[in-house]
Amino acid sequence: MRNDLEEKLGEKYPFMKKGRTLAEQRQSGHIDDLYSAFGCECSNGWFNLLDEMCAKINDAYIEEKMKPDIIIDQIKEKYGTLRFYYHFEGNDPFIHAFDAVGAGTLRIKPKGDRPVYEKISEIVSWGEEQSGHICEICGKPGELRNNGWLMLRCDECWKKQNKHRI
């Protein structure tokens, strides 16, 4: 995703602010914060969706009168749709999901026992589900396409993409 869009998210939602850069992490010996290193590993068409998800997460904290303690681990496209991995302060997960080719993904639910955590889990599931209907390139209504890779595209972006293929 474009840097200026990522920065916009970081300005609106402090929990979306990126920390140590890839170079800084490399220097310290290992890369352990994928979100800060690589940002949103998806195209610009999902910006509005991410913005909406973050607004809902922010509202959930306001409702509970809680300071956001969500930590974003990785945001990416996988098998054509959005993955939004996170945990809560003090509950660092070792792994977020098990993927089996052809058998889908088993998600590990982030630990935490406050009501707001349940709400956030619902918001994230909702957002990931929504991404299955939004073109990853331009944000218009799209559908899952398959040309060997699974991807979310509207008719127009799908056509454009195939024009350049032999």
Binding to Zn ion by residue 152, rule CB under 5 A? Answer: no
Q: How many CA atoms lie within 13 A of 144 on its CB side?
A: 13
Q: Closest separation between CB of residue 77 and Zn ion, Å?
A: 14
Using CB under 5 A as the binding rule, whether residue 72 contacts Zn ion is answered as no
**Count of residues interacting with Zn ion (CB under 5 A):** 6
> 4: burial class by Cβ within 10 Å (0-12, 13-18, 19+)?
exposed
Distance from C-alpha of 152 to C-alpha of 150, rounded to nearest angstrom: 7
> Based on CB atoms, which residue is closest to Zn ion, 22 or 138?
138
Please report whether residue 157 would count as binding Zn ion according to CB under 5 A. Answer: yes
- State which of positions 115-144 bind Zn ion (CB under 5 A): 135, 137-138, 140
Contact 134, 142 (CB under 8 A): yes
User: Which spans of this chain sit near Zn ion (rule: CB under 5 A)?
Assistant: 135, 137-138, 140, 154, 157
